[in-house]
Structure 1
C-alpha cells in the first residue's frame, strides 16, 4: 500500500508539473491577446490563470515534500504561505478587473476581435476537463482535500473560460460592446470568494501552528 501511495504521489506531482506548463502558456498567450485586443475579459482571465499557476506549482511542491518525507509541520507552513500569496493575488486581480471593466463601460470602449484569444480559450475548453478528471481521480486515491480543491479551482476556471468566450463572440457577432467588460466583471465574484477562502484557510493553519 505504501508503494502504491508513493506511485500515486509521483503521478499526481507529474500532473501538477504539466498543469503549470500549460497554465504558463495560457497566461502568456491570453495576456498578449488581451492587451492587443483591449479585452478586459481576456486580461482578467489571463490574470486569474496566474493563480492557477501558483496553486498548481505549490501543490506540486507539497506533493514533492511528502514524497521526500518532510514533516507535517513544514508541509502546513508551506501551505499557509502559499494561501496568503494566493489571497493577496486574488485581491489585486479583483481590484484591477473592476477598475478596468467599469472604466470601459463608462467610456464605452469596444474590444477588438482576437483570433489568438479565441484559440487559447477553445484549447482551454479541451484541456481543463482532462485536468479536472485526473485531479479528482488522484485526489480520491490519495484522500487529498488539496487536490480535490485544486480540481474545483480548475472547474471555476472552465466556467470563466465559457463566460469570456461568450463575451468575445457577442462583441463580434452582435456588436454588443458592453459584453466584454461585463464578462470580465463576472469573474470578480468568484475571484473574491476564492481569495477570501484562501485567506481564511491560511489564518486557520497559522492558529494551529502557533499552538
Structure 2
C-alpha cells in the first residue's frame, strides 16, 4: 500500500471516530429530550441517529482492517457484516416509529416543547454538512463506495433534521399537534429505503465471497 493511500485511510478512520463521538452525544440527548417531551419525531430522529453510530463505527472498523493489511476477503466480510447490521437496525426502527406515531395520531397525543431537543437539532444542522464534505472528500480520494454511501446517509440525516425541527416548531407556534407524529412518519420511507439497499448490498457481497 502506498504511503499516500495509507495516510488518507488513517484520516478517514479519524473522521469516523469523531463522527461516532458526536452521534453518540446526539443520540443520548435527542432520546432523553424526545421521551421527556413525548415527541415521536425526536425519538425517531434519535433512533435513526443510532444507525449513524453503527454505520460510522463499522466503517471505521473496515478502514482499520485495510490499514492493518487484512486480505480482500476479510475486508469484504467486514463490509457484509456491517451492512446486515445496518439493514436489521433500519427495519426495527421503521417498525417502532410507525407504531409510536400512528398510536399518537389515533390518541391525539401532543408533544411538549423541548428546548434541549431544538438545540441538538440546530447543532446537527451545523455539524452534518461538515461531515458530509469530508466523507465525500475521502470517499473520492480512496475511491470508496462505502464512504460515499455514508456521506449520502448523513445527507439523509440532515434532511430528517430539518423535517423534525419544522414539526416541533409547528406544534409550538401553530398548535398543530399532529405535526410531530407526521414528521416522525416522514422518516420511515427513507429508513426503509436505506435498510433495503444495505440488505441488497450485503447479499451481493455475500454472493461474491461464496463464489471465490
Query: TM-score, with normalisation over the residues of structure 2?
Result: 0.98
Please state how far the C-alpha of 1:63 moved relative to its aligned partner: 0.7
Please state how far the C-alpha of 1:12 moved relative to its aligned partner: 0.5
Please state how far the C-alpha of 1:124 moved relative to its aligned partner: 0.1
- Aligned-residue Cα RMSD (Å) equals 0.8
Please state how far the C-alpha of 1:37 moved relative to its aligned partner: 0.2
Taking the aligned partners of 2:138 and 2:86, their CA distance within structure 1 comes to 23
Q: How far does the alpha carbon of each residue in 1:77-131 deviate from its partner, in whole angstroms, 9 at most, with x for none?
A: 1111111111111111000000000000000000000000000000000000000
Taking the aligned partners of 2:208 and 2:7, their CA distance within structure 1 comes to 30
Please state how far the C-alpha of 1:2 moved relative to its aligned partner: 1.2
Q: Which residue of 1 aligns with 2:165?
A: 165
- Runs of 4+ in structure 1 displaced over 4 angstroms? none
SS at match of 1:70: coil
Q: How far does the alpha carbon of each residue in 1:33-74 deviate from its partner, in whole angstroms, 9 at most, with x for none?
A: 000000000000000000000000011011111111000100
Q: Which residue of 2 aligns with 1:7?
A: 7
Once the two structures are superposed, the pairs formed by residues 92-131 of structure 1 within 5 Å of their partners are 92-131=92-131
Return 5+ residue gaps in structure 1 as ranges.
none
Return 5+ residue gaps in structure 2 as ranges.
none
Contact map agreement 2:59 2:82 (CA 8 A) in 1: no
Once the two structures are superposed, the pairs formed by residues 120-199 of structure 1 within 5 Å of their partners are 120-199=120-199
